[in-house]
Amino acid sequence: MTDCGCDKAKAELEEYLHNELAKQDAADVAEHMANCEDCTEEHMVGLALTLKVRKACREVAPDELMDAIRARLANA
């Protein structure tokens, strides 16, 4: 493996976060982050945002709100 450098690591960070890189590319990015504090910090921010978005997408509106929306749509 070779250090892919900051430019490549940052360009592929989104795909890395979502496990969408080829095995070798993912290994290169992981190896780079093991030795680069800046890219590791950016990865941690991306990971935190990804987890927050996933959590927000699982939330469900309260029944009262859903009932109000359905009633308004029915009367539109």
- Give pLDDT tens digits for 10-52: 899 999 999 999 999 999 999 999 999 999 999 999 999 999 9
What is the b/e burial string over 23-41, where b = at least 16 CB atoms within 10 angstroms of the residue's CB?
eebeebbeebbeebeebee
| Domain residue limits at 22 | 5-74
Determine the pLDDT at residue 2. 61
Tally of CB atoms within 10 A around 4:
20
Q: What is the CATH classification number for the domain harbouring 26?
A: 1.10.10
Number of domains making up the chain: 1
Count other C-beta atoms under 10 Å from residue 72's C-beta. Answer: 9
Whether 16 and 43 have beta carbons less than 8 Å apart is answered as: yes
